């Protein structure tokens, strides 16, 4: 794209942002989106569902670029619109509140340019173990063009808030998001309401009478470096110990690795569900044992206080090439650390035999990441506060 076209696009973008400030906002209109408009998931999903089902006076609309998501919500009778249409843009301009989990782009490529003077509530997509946003030295954030963009966007997007979970996380977010303290809302994650609400878990139903071992590794280099499961796990051994202990072993790689090939047809108790439309909270809720590495999924799982194994086979390489961390890894990972497949097999056998010496440590780390007041349902608390922000 030549420089004149880029400049033209930038002019249109910021003109749209400033002009959208002139549109009166409807206090009973809210728009929601997730994961660059591609998914119906995460914290926005659970807050949106809460609003649709419990607050009939509010016009809550889910925006998506994914036709499958559109069809899913339409079939449920939930309000949804395809992003980047005149109708969706109008609703973004009228909405007093916009909720996202990765950034404005969740609402749609073009829709995000019409949020001027709306309250943008960033629920974010997990409690960070790894450095994020402006704290992540591997990110493009902080470069000259980002600094200029932030200056141009400041006034129309000044009503930006981020939701955190504890004092420790709030301090991190002040730096990571370059937010003032009064724009950090310490209310927890609405997606974890799932753990506390009555529900039927589809994985518990599907694998009834079996224990579920869940392997959820984080991405490597945003999916550019493949995770070769067959090389890092002894799947033949795992398949056998699952057979011996009436278990199933579910592999759920990060969204960025959904297209990575994995051959497991020869195993009866090992299943790769990465490409399926999996809801992380349902998976975590179903798991009797979680195996992960540097993923913050274990921080959600701490609320359930079940055994966790940390399989950090590439830690040195990961820290040097991918992400640095906010914490000393060993201080905030309450579970056995395994650096190779043999160690993992031994620890897994130990836990399946009933050994678990990390219960108290898990509770301690949980209290670090989550204030006691947010270790429960939080959607109603978030909604009430947001609607009364002055």
- Check residues 227 and 59 and name the one with the higher pLDDT: 59
Residue 306 pLDDT grade (very low, low, confident, very high; cuts 50, 70, 90): very high
Q: What percent of the chain has pLDDT over 70?
A: 93
- Check whether 96 has a pLDDT greater than 60: yes
Q: How far is CA 163 from CA 86, 92, 188, 308, 310, in A?
A: 30, 21, 7, 26, 27
- Check residues 218 and 104 and name the one with the higher pLDDT: 104
Question: Residue 42 has what pLDDT?
Answer: 93
Strand partners of residue 59: 29
Q: 226: number of CA atoms within 13 Å, CB side?
A: 8
* Strand-by-strand arrangement of the 211-215 sheet: 270-272, 247-251, 211-215, 289-292, 308-311, 336-338
Question: Residue 350 has what pLDDT?
Answer: 94
Q: How far is CA 78 from CA 49, 59, 60, in A?
A: 9, 11, 9
Task: Give the single-character DSSP code of 24.
Answer: P
How far apart, in whole angstroms, are the C-alpha atoms of residue 202 and residue 193? 17
CATH class of the domain at 14-188+375-386: alpha beta
Question: Residue 88 has what pLDDT?
Answer: 95
- Check whether 145 has a pLDDT greater than 60: no
Domain(s) of CATH 3.40.50.11820: residues in the chain = 14-188+375-386
Mean pLDDT of the chain: 89
As a whole number, mean pLDDT of residues 99-105 equals: 95
Residue 324 pLDDT grade (very low, low, confident, very high; cuts 50, 70, 90): confident
Convert the pLDDT of each residue in 186-221 to its tens digit. 999 999 999 999 999 999 999 998 999 999 998 776
Question: Residue 139 has what pLDDT?
Answer: 62
CATH tag, 199-369: 3.40.50.12580
Convert the pLDDT of each residue in 223-252 to its tens digit. 566 777 778 889 999 999 999 999 999 999
Q: Which of 27, 106, 23 is nearest to 63 (CA)?
A: 106
Domain(s) of CATH 3.40.50.12580: residues in the chain = 199-369
Beta strands 160-164 and 247-251 are unpaired
Tokens of 201: 């878990």
């Amino acid at each position: 794209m030549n420089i004149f076209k880029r400049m033209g696009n930038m002019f249109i973008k910021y003109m749209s942002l400033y002009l959208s400030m002139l549109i009166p906002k409807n206090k009973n209109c809210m728009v929601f989106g997730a994961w660059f408009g591609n998914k119906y998931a995460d914290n926005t999903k659970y807050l949106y569902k809460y609003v649709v089902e419990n607050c009939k006076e509010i016009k809550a609309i889910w925006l998506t670029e994914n036709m499958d998501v559109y069809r899913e919500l339409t079939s449920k009778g939930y309000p949804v619109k395809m992003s980047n249409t005149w109708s969706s843009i109008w609703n973004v301009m009228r909405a007093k509140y916009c909720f996202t989990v990765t950034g404005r782009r969740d609402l749609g490529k073009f829709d995000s340019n019409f949020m001027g003077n709306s309250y943008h509530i960033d629920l974010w997509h997990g409690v960070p173990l790894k450095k994020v946003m402006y704290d992540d030295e591997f990110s493009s954030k902080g470069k000259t063009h980002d600094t200029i963009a932030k200056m141009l966007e400041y006034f129309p997007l000044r009503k930006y808030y981020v939701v955190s979970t504890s004092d420790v996380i709030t301090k991190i977010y002040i730096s990571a998001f370059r937010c003032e303290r009064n724009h950090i809302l310490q209310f927890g994650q609405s997606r974890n309401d799932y753990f506390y609400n009555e529900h039927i878990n589809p994985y518990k139903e599907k694998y009834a009478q079996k224990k579920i071992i869940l392997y959820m590794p984080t991405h490597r280099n945003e999916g550019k470096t493949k995770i070769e499961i067959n090389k890092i796990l002894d799947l033949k051994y795992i398949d056998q110990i699952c057979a011996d202990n009436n278990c199933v072993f579910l592999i759920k790689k990060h969204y960025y690795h959904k297209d990575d090939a994995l051959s497991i047809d020869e195993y009866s108790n090992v299943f790769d569900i990465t490409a399926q439309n999996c809801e992380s909270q349902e998976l975590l809720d179903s798991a009797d044992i979680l195996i992960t590495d540097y993923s913050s999924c274990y921080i959600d799982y701490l609320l359930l206080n079940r055994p966790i194994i940390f399989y950090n086979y590439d830690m040195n390489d990961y820290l040097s090439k991918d992400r640095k961390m906010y914490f000393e890894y060993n201080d905030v990972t309450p579970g056995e650390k395994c650096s190779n497949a043999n160690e993992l097999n031994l620890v897994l056998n130990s836990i399946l035999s009933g050994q678990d010496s990390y219960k108290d440590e898990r509770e301690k780390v949980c209290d670090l990441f989550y204030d006691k007041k947010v270790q429960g349902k939080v959607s109603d608390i978030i909604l009430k506060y947001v609607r009364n922000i002055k």
